[in-house]
Amino acid sequence: MALEMETEYKILNLYRTKQYDACNQLLDTMQGTDNRMLEFIRMRVLTILAKVAGDGYEEVGYGAQRDELVTTAVAKTPRPGTTFHRPQAKTAGFTATTRAMATTSARRQTGTASSRTLHTAARASRAATATAGASRASTAAGGALGAGAVLPLTLTMLNTQDQLFHAAGKTLFEYTFYCEGDVRKALEIAMQATKIDTHPDWWWDYSKAKCYNALGMHRTAEESLRQALKKNKHIAVYLRLVAMYVELNQPLSALEVCKQGLTIFHDDTALTLEQARIHDEMDNSALAVQDYRRVALEDPTNMEATAYIALFNFYNDQPEIALRYYRRLLATCPPGAEIYNNLGLCCLHCNQWDLTLPCFRQALYFSTNPTIRADVWFNISHVALSTGDLQLARRCLQLSLVMSSEHESARKALRAIDAHLRNIK
């Protein structure tokens, strides 16, 4: 009995000190014991581990693939300026092709030589395929806990008549939604909790909206979120509304929600970031950079805002200012191939020849992706062309094609150099 009490104390201590992995391992040794407290601690630990493993699964997914058969889709031919699918005209020399290079490599587009090669880490903090679905969280939980982990099936331990059902309802809901991935069962728990409570909490309306959104019932989710806002003006509700409108391809409604939230949460970085990203997706780069500057003022360590401001200055013929921002990124963020690649391009356009090649050398040192190495060699060919060395430029382009045979810009440039050399001969 004393040994069992000592183990329970260790479990409670590990949970309170947020050592969830060790707590979960110790809970595995206590399987088979009929202890309701340990079961609920285990559910809570598994839920937290699922959230950590599925980093970013609740973020807004821009540019996500949409099913053409969805009945909740908006008009096929919306008015210009009201959708993400119809790009705007060029704004201040900052086109859609060049703006797209602010994203991660998963969303790269092939464009001109300079826009093809300037890859930034503007949104490395955001998940590339972020969705609100609970299936991804369940998959992440399975990967984090290992193949041999046994999830506690304790949903039958409490019924709706149990006096502890309402107190443990949030734990049951989050475990069912994030770990089991059973959205319908989680929605049933939320409905039962709201029926029992005479004054339901805003959290339940927010949770039901997550379930409705995962099931594709966006209008019902919108009603639940509006009800949650009437009870409590919480930042998470505004962010969920923005995510839903972005998924429905309604950027104007998402911007309106951001404005409403910013009137209550002044200069909130999360809402300002979402507003900047929406302007960015709509090719309103002038408005987007203003929002990113506000984010940089509130949070100087925000990598996305700093990288976007640097990119905007670079494509507006201000490489000296862009160089300052990239140096700040290098000082505040872990070094990477993208940052050194961008530094090399800025030094090249600033005519700082003594720093150009060392930056590209560091980019080659940190690059592990063949596509990124191909981009770096393509940039080095521009340095050779700037000095008039066609043979060196030709060798760099050949190395770029060796790294990535699908590098169209390098192939076109190599053909142009070969044609020029033949004309000289």
Supply the DSSP string of 329-371, one letter for each residue. Answer: HHHHS---HHHHHHHHHHHHHTT-HHHHHHHHHHHHHH--SHH
**Tell me: the pLDDT tens digits for 343-357?**
999 999 999 989 999
Looking at residue 227, its pLDDT comes to 92
Alpha helices in 265-318 (DSSP H): 269-281, 285-298, 303-314
**Long-range contacts from 110-116, C-beta under 8 angstroms, 24+ separation:** 110/408, 110/409, 112/409, 113/378, 113/382, 113/409, 113/413, 114/345, 115/315, 116/375, 116/378, 116/409
Q: What is the mean pLDDT of residues 21-36?
A: 80
**Tell me: the pLDDT tens digits for 78-92?**
666 666 665 444 434
Helix (H) or strand (E) holding 389: none
138 vs 330: which has the higher pLDDT: 330
pLDDT > 90? residue 261? yes
Measured distance CA(239)–CA(225) in Å, rounded:
10
Over pLDDT 70: what percentage of the chain? 71
150 vs 197: which has the higher pLDDT: 197
Measured distance CA(57)–CA(47) in Å, rounded:
14
**Tell me: the pLDDT tens digits for 274-283?**
999 999 999 8
Looking at residue 89, its pLDDT comes to 45
Looking at residue 60, its pLDDT comes to 57
Other Cβ atoms less than 10 A from the Cβ of 185: the count is 16
Distance of CA 342 to the CA centre of its chain: 21
Looking at residue 35, its pLDDT comes to 75
Task: Identify the DSSP state of 91.
Answer: B
**Tell me: the pLDDT tens digits for 8-18?**
888 888 888 88
Looking at residue 262, its pLDDT comes to 93
Q: What is the mean pLDDT of residues 71-84?
A: 58
How far are the Cα atoms of 128, 313, 317, 416 from residue 282, in angstroms, in the given order?
18, 19, 22, 35
Mean pLDDT taken over the chain: 77
Q: What residues contact residue 76 under an 8 Å CB cut-off, 6+ apart?
A: none
Over pLDDT 90: what percentage of the chain? 38
Measured distance CA(244)–CA(259) in Å, rounded:
16
- The reported pTM is 0.75
* CA-wise closest residue to 283 among 78, 61, 79, 93: 93
136 vs 256: which has the higher pLDDT: 256
Measured distance CA(64)–CA(34) in Å, rounded:
45
Residue 94's DSSP bridge partners are 91
> Quick check: helix, strand or coil at residue 94?
strand
